[in-house]
Amino acid sequence: MRQEDINLLRITKYMSFFRMRFIAGLQYRAAALAGIVTQFVWGAMEILLFKAFYQVNAAAFPMTFEALSSYVWLQQAFLALFLTWFLENDIFQTITDGGIAYEMCRPADIYNMWFFRSMANRLSKTVLRCMPILLFAALLPKPYGIRLPNNLNAGIWFFITAFLGLLVVVAFCMLVYITTFYTLSPVGVRLLSVSLVEFFAGSVIPLPFLPKGIRQVIELLPFASMQNVPLRVYSGDIGGANIYTRAGLQLFWVVTLIWIGKKLMQTAQRRIVVQGG
């Protein structure tokens, strides 16, 4: 076994990034509050918008209005978990201003270190923010609020696929970070990931709303393995054996994206030039 693999097994040292992130997150209370309010208002507006469409012809839509409400509220509550453009400025800065020098002085694999750091960042933000939104949404009257999943199975698979989705998101973001080694400016890649990926991931409109043909292709892309799967598993839109296929596809993308990322990182590290000083 290579040294790096042994280090990967000793995951404990990366765990402390979670603690660090929670501490840092708690440091900024106003930001957390503002985030909660924004997400609540945004979710409410989205539901009202869809309500108008459903009033015209509810049968024309692939999801029930109730399932859609759950989808929207979960999406808002777990925004920090799945949003691809929610990238860490610290990491970009580290690459462009040469702070990478310190990162490379740590006895840790840089890919693993950043992977855990990003995960920690997303999880800590989510934990700090999701509860008030979920509680509020649960108190809303029937078709507008969030409801419990149809069965326990859907609930359990929601958590499993949500975790896999998070891994896909972070592995994808790692690719964005690593390209900065080559382009030296994160702006282009970030713009692309904001507009395109968000659409393909189903965060603008849920993927079932897209026309047939296009939808089948999009659902195979890694972006559909992000929030699309867990949110639809929760609402029962994806059920039965279909869950296993989707989770399998998620797993495939996790492995593939991490593999690509590690390869790219290895090459990048060799050609690294620390800027200035």
Partner 1 sequence: MIQVEHISKTYQVARRNAGFSEAFKALLHKQYERIKALDDISFTIGEGEMVGYIGPNGAGKSSTIKVLSGILTPEEGSCTINGRIPWKDRIAHVQEIGVVFGQRSQLWWDVPVIDSFELLRDIYRIPNQVYQNNLEELVSLLNLELLIKTPARQLSLGQRMRCEVAASLLHDPKILFLDEPTIGLDAVSKIAVREFILERNRKHRTTVILTTHDMQDIETLTKRIILIGKGKILMDGNLENIKKQFSTTKQLTVEYQGGKIIPCEGMNLLSESSQIAVFEVNLSSMTVSEAVTHISKQVEVIDIAVDSPSIDELVAKLYQKYQIQ
Query: Residue 108, interface with partner 1 (CB under 8 A)?
Result: yes
Residue of 35, 98, 143, 149 interacting with partner 1 (CB under 8 A)? 98
Burial letters 195-232, b for 16+ CB under 10 A, else e: eebbebbbbeebbbebeeeeeeebbeebbbbbbbbbbb
For partner 1 (CB under 8 A), the number of binding residues is 34
Q: Are 80 and 125 in contact (CB under 8 A)?
A: yes
Residue of 8, 13, 40, 53 interacting with partner 1 (CB under 8 A)? 13
The nearest distance, CB 133 to partner 1, in angstroms, is 24
Query: Residue 16, interface with partner 1 (CB under 8 A)?
Result: yes
Decide whether 8 or 140 has the Cβ nearer to partner 1. Answer: 8
Handedness of CA 140, 144, 150, 155 (dihedral sign): negative
Query: Residue 111, interface with partner 1 (CB under 8 A)?
Result: no
Q: Are 73 and 132 in contact (CB under 8 A)?
A: no
3-state SS class at 15 = helix
Residue of 52, 55, 102, 212 interacting with partner 1 (CB under 8 A)? 102
Q: Which residues lie near partner 1 (CB under 8 A)?
A: 3-4, 7, 10, 12-13, 15-17, 19-20, 23-24, 27-28, 97-102, 104-109, 113, 270, 272-274, 276-277
